[in-house]
């Protein structure tokens, strides 16, 4: 099955965007994003903490619905899913 | 009633809004939190559009490092209070409106009083703790909250209508780490102008607001994207006080999906 992962802002610079990946049935969301992010150490560090969890401020959406990042390790992806990952910005 | 001078000043937009729309703008009071990168374009565009009363709050003094983006302030203003500089410029842009400036730090103790009975609150802050305060006050007072934030060549904006849309805490439950953020003036220019556009549309009651839509502007790729957002039932600010049991929630979700 194929999943589309979209990175935004700084994450896009580091990892590219609209990445299509092929995953096996039952793969978890965290695993899918991690596998892509591992291509760039800076990209990985921007999104994940030392324990390999999503940093708490990172926003993850699955088909337009927000995913609690703390539970992303147990959320399965399904064929055709679109996953969006982005960092909120703070400046004004 | 619009004066002859106002009629002339707003001639080109009266074609769009008519007298009634312009009167609505004239009667409105918008609270702008911050006179920096976002606050500059927001306040300038709302002033020249004829929003009757603008309250601008800032605690800072103009610094040379502000001048690459904070277009309310000129080189000659370095060392001056931002509120004083903002008042001077905004009156010069449009002497037919009322400008109120308040030189203070927005905190939990004064935020309610500062906002008063404004018709809208514009987020032109540079930190999440104050944004959350404004968000919570907007929710309590049921005043729309126009969010914007920037970094580098990226920006985001959304319009929060209490009890109707996701609030700032629904969308961003955790603040990103504080930093001295990189920025070029065009970014707050774009995002601040989007916020001002939203304010005008809201006051005029026209168009489609960025309600439950998070707009993301990427100036590097020159892409504008939208992410659909929704209220978080467990949101500490606007979530239902007693969360329904999980089974009920998932049944309801299934129902909505059908």
Span B175-184, pLDDT tens digits: 988 888 899 9
CB contact under 8 A, A92 and B225: no
Where residue A69 falls among pLDDT bands split at 50, 70, 90?
confident
Q: Which residue has the higher pLDDT, B249 or B44?
A: B44
- Answer for the pair B119, B203: CB distance below 8 angstroms, yes or no: yes
Helix (H, G, I), strand (E, B) or coil at B82: helix
CB contact under 8 A, A92 and B150: yes
> For a pLDDT cut of 70, what percent of chain B falls above it?
93
Question: What single-letter DSSP state applies at residue B76?
Answer: G
Which pTM value belongs to this model?
0.90
B130 to chain A nearest CA, in Å?
A: 11
> Which segment of B27-31, B58-62, B109-113, B177-181 scores lowest on mean pLDDT?
B177-181
| Average pLDDT estimate for B114-118 | 98
Q: Which of A73, A86, A80 is nearest to A21 (CA)?
A: A80
- Domains recognised in chain B with CATH numbers: 4-233 (3.40.50.720)
Q: Which own/partner contact pairs does A48-54 have at CB distance under 8 Å and 24+ positions apart?
A: A54/A30
Q: In chain B, whose CA is at the least distance from the CA of A88?
A: B176
CB contact under 8 A, A91 and B176: no
Per-residue pLDDT at B242 exceeds 60: no
Where residue B116 falls among pLDDT bands split at 50, 70, 90?
very high
Cα distance between residue B31 and residue B8, in whole Å: 26
Q: Per this entry, what is the length of chain A?
A: 92
**Partners of B227 in the beta sheet?**
B214
Average pLDDT over chain A, rounded to whole?
92
Per-residue pLDDT at B93 exceeds 90: yes
What pLDDT was estimated at residue A17? 85
The partner residue sitting opposite B155, judged by closest CB among A56, A66, A89, is A89
Q: Which of A4, A36, A2 is nearest to A22 (CA)?
A: A2
Where residue B240 falls among pLDDT bands split at 50, 70, 90?
confident
Average pLDDT over chain B, rounded to whole?
92
Where residue A73 falls among pLDDT bands split at 50, 70, 90?
confident
What pLDDT was estimated at residue B257? 41
What pLDDT was estimated at residue A5? 96
| Average pLDDT estimate for A54-59 | 94
Angle, alpha carbons B229-A66-B181 (nearest 5°): 75
Q: Which own/partner contact pairs does B110-115 have at CB distance under 8 Å and 24+ positions apart?
A: B111/B137, B112/B137, B112/B140, B112/B141, B114/B31, B114/B55, B114/B57, B115/B31, B115/B141, B115/B143
* Cα distances (Å, whole numbers) of residue B97 to A10, A69, B142, B169, B198: 40, 47, 25, 33, 20
Per-residue pLDDT at B51 exceeds 90: yes
What pLDDT was estimated at residue B243? 40
Where residue A9 falls among pLDDT bands split at 50, 70, 90?
confident
Helices (H), A1-92: 9-15, 29-37, 41-47
What pLDDT was estimated at residue B53? 98
CATH topology assigned to domain A2-86 = Ubiquitin-like (UB roll) (3.10.20)
Angle, alpha carbons A44-A45-A46 (nearest 5°): 90
CB contact under 8 A, A89 and B151: yes
Q: Cβ contacts (< 8 Å) between A87 and chain B: which residues?
A: 176
- Answer for the pair B188, B38: CB distance below 8 angstroms, yes or no: yes
CB contact under 8 A, A89 and B123: no
Write down the domain spans for chain A: 2-86
Q: Which residue has the higher pLDDT, A64 or B223?
A: B223
CB contact under 8 A, B181 and A89: yes
Cα distance between residue B165 and residue A29, in whole Å: 27
Per-residue pLDDT at B256 exceeds 50: no
| Average pLDDT estimate for B153-181 | 93
| Per-residue model confidence as pLDDT tens digits over B203-219 | 999 999 999 999 999 99
B92 to chain A nearest CA, in Å?
A: 24
């Amino acid at each position: 099955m194929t999943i589309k992962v979209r990175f935004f802002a700084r994450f896009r610079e580091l990892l590219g965007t609209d990445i299509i990946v092929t995953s096996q049935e039952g793969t978890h969301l965290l695993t899918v994003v991690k596998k892509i992010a591992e291509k760039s150490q800076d990209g990985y560090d921007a999104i994940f903490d030392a324990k390999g969890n999503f940093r708490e401020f990172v926003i993850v959406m699955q088909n337009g619905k927000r995913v609690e990042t703390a539970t992303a390790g147990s959320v399965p992806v399904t064929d055709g899913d679109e996953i969006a990952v982005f960092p909120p910005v703070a400046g004004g | 009633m619009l004066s002859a001078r106002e009629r002339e000043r707003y001639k080109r937009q009266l074609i769009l809004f008519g007298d009634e729309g312009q009167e609505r703008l004239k009667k409105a009071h918008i609270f702008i939190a911050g006179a920096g990168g976002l606050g500059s374009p927001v306040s300038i565009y709302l002033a020249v559009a004829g929003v009757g009363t603008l309250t601008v709050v800032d605690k800072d003094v103009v610094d040379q490092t502000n001048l690459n983006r904070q277009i309310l302030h000129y080189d000659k203003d370095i060392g001056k209070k931002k509120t004083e500089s903002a008042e001077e410029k905004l009156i010069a842009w449009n002497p037919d409106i009322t400008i109120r400036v308040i030189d203070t730090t927005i905190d939990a103790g004064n935020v309610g009083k500062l906002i008063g009975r404004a018709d809208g609150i514009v987020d032109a802050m540079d930190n999440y703790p104050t944004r959350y305060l404004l968000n919570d006050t907007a929710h309590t007072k049921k005043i729309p909250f126009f969010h914007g934030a920037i970094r580098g060549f990226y920006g985001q904006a959304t319009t929060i209508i209490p009890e109707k849309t996701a609030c700032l805490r629904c969308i961003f439950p955790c603040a990103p780490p504080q930093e001295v953020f990189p920025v070029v003036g065009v970014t707050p220019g774009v995002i601040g102008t989007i916020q001002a556009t939203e304010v005008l549309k809201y006051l005029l009651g026209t168009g489609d607001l960025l309600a439950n839509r998070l707009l993301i502007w990427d100036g590097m790729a020159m892409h504008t994207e939208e992410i659909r957002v929704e209220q978080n039932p467990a949101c500490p600010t606007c979530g239902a006080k007693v969360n329904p049991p999980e089974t009920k929630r998932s049944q309801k979700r299934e129902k909505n999906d059908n």
